[in-house]
Structure 1
């Protein structure tokens, strides 16, 4: 896979930045603050105790990752009242003194994510079988689609307005799998240049092993190709010994290739 690391990292970072931008009312309601620091994207969500919606990413391309840069990121989180955040840096741009930098601002190693990409033509050439109905999501489907996504991920309903605002938002296309009249699987793609970033992929437990997730992935590949994209980019949890991540293997079957595994680093105010 010859997608540049910078392109893969920016695909993810810019998708999240656009997603949480939503509407001013949604940003204010859940306490979102945004910044661009050192060529990277920094997002704080004051009401998010998990850190999922607070991120610092896409560093190391405009300028090197340094202690001063990370101190600036840490100060941003402090000033924004961030309860917890995730710092994500591609392994190829980590400096030799990264462990020292991380210790200085109190970052602790957490889970690892697998970073993957796929040529859209490869994904479209694969055979996907499902008995579910697959299609794009309209604004009328928004409430059910949003509820399915949040519930499946175990996320708070306070994010409803932000998530729903992404449906039919410029650059975004949302898809679903229906079992009868019920949405049981969700997924979005965010188009940015040559990349289509996969986002919000979820499947209800009772609807798994029916090909829905793979079919929604392929629908996103079709939309990305129609928009002129060359690659699909996605992330999921890396497998630890003895673990099996179904989402990861669904992507492998569709033609995704592992680019690298990236460590998540947890920032919290108590460590600073």
Structure 2
């Protein structure tokens, strides 16, 4: 049986990746989106006030080195109130919830949302499985690192594939292409860029981030190709562990991203609840 990966590892890489993805945006983009971030103890809290997607305001990294308390949750919520954030998601693993969580939730206006699955894999195992003779090759696609000149196109594809606005959001994503510790990959169909993904290096951990393929290029193995390319890059960087997240499957649902990762040797570390905070009134 493989060793259990500590919470300090699985939560840290995601928290740091999101923090740097958003705070590395150009100042004009930050101003347009109303973007601000802070650190409160273990917690990384990012606020995007002008975000119609309601996706990018998140607090995560809870319980990495210290217990989660009512005072900590109150401070996180106070940050969002001060920012005028219309909605934020607090991502806490069940094992770090305090005993009085129900009372804290009622006091701060926090409700239960969807669940995500946290996955981990050893880099060497994913690379080995990627080279297996029975693995289905990509159909007409190729995957390659993103050149700085393609940063805008790559970022546009990421936002379009996720159904998000391109204005300002693409500028946020494009900025990471030339930033330290980010290693973006693109999927191409002929001369058309049709898929995006990146990986953030955090010590010996590689955090997978932002994988998406445009609808017209799906079912060609692009998601798996982007996974494999990033795993190989992680190995070249000296990383030992891959970490990723995706939505938990509901009854009757099918998450192809989840199954692509499982086939390549990822395993579920835990399922994590999303807790939704909104200001009173």
TM-score bracket relative to the smaller structure: over 0.9
Is the 8 Å Cα contact of residues 35 and 48 (structure 2) preserved in structure 1?
Answer: yes
Which residue of the partner structure matches residue 236 of structure 2? 226
- The normalised TM-score by structure 2 is 0.93
Residues 138-157 of structure 1: pairs in structure 2 closer than 5 A: 138-157=147-166
Which residue of the partner structure matches residue 74 of structure 1? 77
The alpha-carbon deviation at position 192 of structure 1 amounts to 0.6
Aligned to 2:280, what secondary structure does the other structure show? helix
Aligned to 1:166, what secondary structure does the other structure show? helix
| Candidates 198, 211, 216, aligned match of 1:206 | 216
CA–CA distance in 2 between the matches of 1:247 and 1:205?
14
CA RMSD of aligned residues (A): 1.3
Gaps of 5+ in 2: none
The alpha-carbon deviation at position 227 of structure 1 amounts to 1.1
Which residue of the partner structure matches residue 45 of structure 2? 42
Aligned to 2:183, what secondary structure does the other structure show? strand
Which residue of the partner structure matches residue 87 of structure 1? 90
Say whether residues 1:100 and 2:89 are aligned partners: no
**Which stretches of structure 1, 4 residues or more, deviate above 2 A after TM superposition?**
23-26
Is the 8 Å Cα contact of residues 6 and 61 (structure 1) preserved in structure 2?
Answer: yes
Residues 1-272 of structure 1: pairs in structure 2 closer than 5 A: 1=2, 2-22=4-24, 23-127=26-130, 128=135, 129-131=137-139, 132-157=141-166, 158-270=168-280
Identify which range, 82-91 or 59-68, moves more after superposition: 59-68
CA distances 1:107-146 after superposition (whole Å, capped 9, x unpaired): 1111100100110001101134213111100111112111
CA–CA distance in 2 between the matches of 1:166 and 1:185?
16
Aligned to 1:173, what secondary structure does the other structure show? coil
The alpha-carbon deviation at position 270 of structure 1 amounts to 3.2
CA–CA distance in 2 between the matches of 1:67 and 1:9?
20
CA distances 1:139-162 after superposition (whole Å, capped 9, x unpaired): 111121111110111111231211
CA–CA distance in 2 between the matches of 1:236 and 1:196?
16
Gaps of 5+ in 1: none
The alpha-carbon deviation at position 43 of structure 1 amounts to 0.5
The alpha-carbon deviation at position 62 of structure 1 amounts to 2.7
Is the 8 Å Cα contact of residues 49 and 83 (structure 1) preserved in structure 2?
Answer: no
Q: Measured at CA, do residues 50 and 107 of structure 1 come closer, stay the same or move farther in structure 2, by a change above 3 Å? A: farther
The alpha-carbon deviation at position 93 of structure 1 amounts to 1.2
Aligned to 2:178, what secondary structure does the other structure show? coil
CA–CA distance in 1 between the matches of 2:172 and 2:53?
17
Identify which range, 191-200 or 17-26, moves more after superposition: 17-26
CA–CA distance in 1 between the matches of 2:231 and 2:105?
37
- The normalised TM-score by structure 1 is 0.96
Is the 8 Å Cα contact of residues 207 and 242 (structure 2) preserved in structure 1?
Answer: yes
CA–CA distance in 2 between the matches of 1:104 and 1:261?
25
